[in-house]
C-alpha cells in the first residue's frame, strides 16, 4: 500500500489527467453506441417524422400528460389474459390466404424503400382535422377502414401486443401497431387479433403487460375508429433488429422512431 501511495504521489499529474479523460471516453462511447442503435436508416432523415408532422393536438396532450415519445410507461398486469389468448391462437388450424413472410437476418445492406412522391404537396392540416395522428407526404385519400368490435380477450391481447411491439413509441407508436392490426382485419379478413398475430407473424411479447398509452391507443383506433396515418399499413419492422428485403419491397409509408411501416 505504501508503494502504491508513493507511486500516486510521484505521478500525481498523470493520474489527474487520466482520471479526467477516462469518464469522457466512457460517455463518448455510450453516446455513439446508443446513437447507432436507435437512429434509423444509417442517418437518414426519415428516421423520425419532423415535429410539425405530428398533430398539434396530440403533441400538446403528450406534453401536458408528460407522455414524451420514448418515455417510460407504467406496466399493468394483463399477462394471464394475453397468455390465454395466445394459446388459443396456437390451436387454430385454418390459415387465411394472405400471409406475411417472416423477417430474416441477411448479410449486406438492403436498400431502404422510399415513399412515392406526391403530385402536389400534402395538406397536413386536413389530415390532422380528419383525426390522423401523424401527417404524411403520401396520404391515400381513398383509405377507409370499417368498425371492428373487439372481444375482451382480443382487446387485452392487442394492448399487450402494442406494448411488446412498440412500447417505446408511446401513444403514437402504439396507435400505429393497432392500425396495422385493424387494417389486417379489415382488408385481409382476419377475424381476431390472435389470428393476425399468428398469420402475420408478429413476434412482440404479449406476456409483458401493457401501458396506459397502449390502452388509449387501442381505444382510439378501434372504439373511436381513428387512424394513426391516412394510409393502409399492413407490415412493419425494425431494421436495427433484422434485415428484411421483403418489407423493403413493399410500399413504404413512413418511419417512426426507427420502425418502418409499409402497405402491400
Residues 189 and 216 reside in one and the same domain: yes
Question: Is the whole model's pTM more than 0.85, yes or no?
Answer: no
Residues 207 and 249 reside in one and the same domain: yes
In a domain, 31, yes or no: yes
Question: Would you say residue 38 has pLDDT above 60?
Answer: no
In a domain, 190, yes or no: yes
172-203 pLDDT, tens digit per residue, is 999 999 999 999 999 999 999 999 999 999 98
Question: Would you say residue 170 has pLDDT above 60?
Answer: yes
Q: Once rounded to an integer, what is the mean pLDDT over residues 37-56?
A: 55
226-259 pLDDT, tens digit per residue, is 999 999 999 999 998 888 889 998 999 999 999 9
Residues 117 and 184 reside in one and the same domain: yes
- C-alpha–C-alpha distance, residues 74 and 167, integer Å: 10
Residues 157 and 134 reside in one and the same domain: yes
- C-alpha–C-alpha distance, residues 27 and 21, integer Å: 10
For the packed helices 170-188 and 152-166, what is the interaxial angle rounded to 10 degrees?
130
Question: Would you say residue 36 has pLDDT above 60?
Answer: no
In a domain, 28, yes or no: yes
Residues 30 and 122 reside in one and the same domain: no
3-state secondary structure the chain: CHHHHHHHHHCHHHHHHHHHHHHHHHHHHHHHHHHHHHCCHHHCCCCCCCHHHECHHHHHHHHHCCCCCCCCCCCECCHHHHHHHHHHHHCCCCCCCCCCCCCCCCCCCCCCCCCCCCCCCCCHHHHHHCCCCECCCCCCCCCCCCCCCCCHHHHHHHHHHHHHHHHHHHHHHHHHHHHHHHHHHHHHCCCCHHHHHHHCCCCCCCCCCECHHHHHHHHHHHHCCCCCCCCCCCEEECCCCCCCHHHHCCEEEEEECCEEEEEC
105-128 pLDDT, tens digit per residue, is 444 578 899 988 888 889 999 999
Beta-carbon count within 10 A of 240 CB: 15
61-80 pLDDT, tens digit per residue, is 876 654 444 443 343 333 33
- C-alpha–C-alpha distance, residues 163 and 209, integer Å: 7
Residues 77 and 34 reside in one and the same domain: no
- C-alpha–C-alpha distance, residues 66 and 261, integer Å: 26
Tell me the average pLDDT of the chain: 76
Of 208, 226, 209, nearest to 217 by C-alpha is: 226
Q: Taking the C-alpha atoms of 149, 153, 159 and 164 in order, what is their torsion angle to the nearest 10 degrees? A: -130
In a domain, 197, yes or no: yes
Residues forming a β-bridge with 251? 263
Of 163, 195, 194, nearest to 85 by C-alpha is: 194
In a domain, 43, yes or no: no
Residues 112 and 193 reside in one and the same domain: yes
Residue 166's pLDDT is 94
In a domain, 224, yes or no: yes
Residues 146 and 78 reside in one and the same domain: yes
Q: Once rounded to an integer, what is the mean pLDDT over residues 12-29?
A: 60
Number of domains observed in the structure of the chain? 2
In a domain, 44, yes or no: no
Residue range(s) defining the domain that contains residue 2:
1-38
Residues 124 and 216 reside in one and the same domain: yes
Residues 59 and 27 reside in one and the same domain: no
Percent of residues, the chain, with pLDDT higher than 90:
50
- C-alpha–C-alpha distance, residues 263 and 141, integer Å: 14
Residue 97's pLDDT is 37
In a domain, 55, yes or no: yes
Residue 119's pLDDT is 82
Residues forming a β-bridge with 262? 235, 252
Residues 123 and 231 reside in one and the same domain: yes
Residues 159 and 32 reside in one and the same domain: no
Amino acid at each position: 500500500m505504501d508503494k502504491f501511495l508513493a507511486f500516486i504521489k510521484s505521478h500525481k499529474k498523470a493520474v489527474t489527467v487520466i482520471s479526467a479523460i477516462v469518464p469522457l471516453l466512457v460517455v463518448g462511447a455510450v453516446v455513439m453506441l446508443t446513437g447507432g442503435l436507435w437512429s434509423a436508416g444509417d442517418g437518414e432523415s426519415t428516421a423520425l417524422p419532423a415535429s410539425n408532422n405530428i398533430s398539434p393536438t396530440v403533441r400538446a396532450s403528450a406534453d401536458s400528460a408528460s407522455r414524451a415519445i420514448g418515455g417510460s410507461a407504467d406496466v399493468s398486469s394483463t399477462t394471464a389474459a394475453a397468455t390465454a389468448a395466445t394459446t388459443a391462437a396456437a390451436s387454430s388450424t385454418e390459415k387465411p390466404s394472405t400471409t406475411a413472410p417472416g423477417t430474416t437476418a441477411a448479410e449486406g445492406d438492403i436498400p431502404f424503400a422510399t415513399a412515392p412522391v406526391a403530385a402536389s404537396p400534402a395538406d397536413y392540416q386536413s389530415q390532422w382535422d380528419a383525426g390522423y395522428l401523424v401527417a404524411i407526404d403520401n396520404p391515400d385519400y381513398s383509405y377507409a377502414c370499417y368498425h371492428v368490435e373487439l372481444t375482451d380477450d382480443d382487446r387485452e391481447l392487442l394492448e399487450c401486443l402494442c406494448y411488446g411491439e412498440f412500447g417505446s413509441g408511446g401513444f403514437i407508436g402504439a396507435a400505429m401497431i393497432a392500425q396495422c392490426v385493424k387494417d389486417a382485419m379489415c382488408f385481409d379478413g382476419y377475424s381476431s387479433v390472435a389470428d393476425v398475430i399468428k398469420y402475420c407473424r408478429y413476434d412482440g411479447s404479449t406476456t409483458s403487460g401493457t401501458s396506459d398509452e397502449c390502452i388509449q391507443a387501442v381505444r382510439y383506433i378501434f372504439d373511436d375508429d381513428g387512424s394513426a396515418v391516412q394510409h393502409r399499413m399492413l407490415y412493419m419492422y425494425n431494421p436495427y433488429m433484422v434485415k428484411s428485403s421483403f418489407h423493403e419491397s413493399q410500399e413504404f409509408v413512413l418511419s417512426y422512431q426507427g420502425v418502418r411501416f409499409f402497405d402491400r
